[in-house]
Amino acid sequence: MQVNWPVSDFPRLRDSLHANTGTINCELEGIPEQLGRRALRLRLSGTLQLTCQRCLGELAQAVRVDEVLQLAETQAEIDAELVNTEAPERILAGREMQVHELVEDELVLALPIAPRHERCAGKPSGAAATKQSPFAGLKDLMHGRRH
C-alpha cells in the first residue's frame, strides 16, 4: 500500500510547521512473518516546512522513517504484551484510522526539537518575525516538549 498524505492531514504537526504544505509519502508493506506474527514495514518520506529557531525563516526538513511494526489481531493481545518494552510496536490489523495516527506519531517523533539552518540566509525579515509570536518558545515549554 502506498499513499501520499497531505501534511495538512496531520493536525498534531501544525504547531511545529512554518507552512502546512507538501505531502508525506507513506509506504506500508506486509512482512510475511516476524516472531510468529504478521508484521508491517512502514516507510515515510517527505519534506516538512519547519521554522528556523534562529532567523524564524522557513526551513525545509527532510523526514525519513523506516519502522517494522507487528500486527496484533485484538486490543487485548496488545494490552497483554504492554509490559514487554523490548517488543516491536504493535498495531491492530486493518484499521486505516490507526495507520493515520501511527504515521502522525512517527512524524511527531521525527521532528527536531529546535530546527536551525546550518547558515541562515540573512537577518530575519519583518514578515517572518511577525509570524512567530514572542511567546512561541514559552508555549513549547508549557507543552512539555523535551525530546
Answer whether 132's CB lies under 8 Å from 56's CB.
Answer: yes
Check residue 78 for interaction with Zn ion (CB under 5 A).
Answer: no
**CA 50, chain centre distance (Å):** 12
Q: How far is the CB of 25 from Zn ion (least distance, A)?
A: 26
Answer whether 4's CB lies under 8 Å from 26's CB.
Answer: yes
Smaller CB distance to Zn ion: residue 100 or 117? 117
Position of cell 492531514? 9
- Count interface residues toward Zn ion (CB under 5 A): 6
Check residue 131 for interaction with Zn ion (CB under 5 A).
Answer: no
Q: How far is the CB of 116 from Zn ion (least distance, A)?
A: 6
Check residue 41 for interaction with Zn ion (CB under 5 A).
Answer: no
Q: How far is the CB of 121 from Zn ion (least distance, A)?
A: 7
Out of 71, 110, 111, 120, which residue is the one contacting Zn ion (CB under 5 A)? 120
Smaller CB distance to Zn ion: residue 44 or 57? 57
- How many other CB atoms are there within 10 angstroms of residue 85's CB atom? 6
* Cα–Cα distances in angstroms (integers) from residue 106 to residues 40, 42, 101, 122, in the given order: 14, 10, 9, 32
Check residue 55 for interaction with Zn ion (CB under 5 A).
Answer: yes
**Binding to Zn ion, residues 99-118 (CB under 5 A):** 117
Q: Which amino acid is at 119?
A: R
Q: Which amino acid is at 95?
A: R
**Contacting residues toward Zn ion, per CB under 5 A:** 52, 54-55, 57, 117, 120
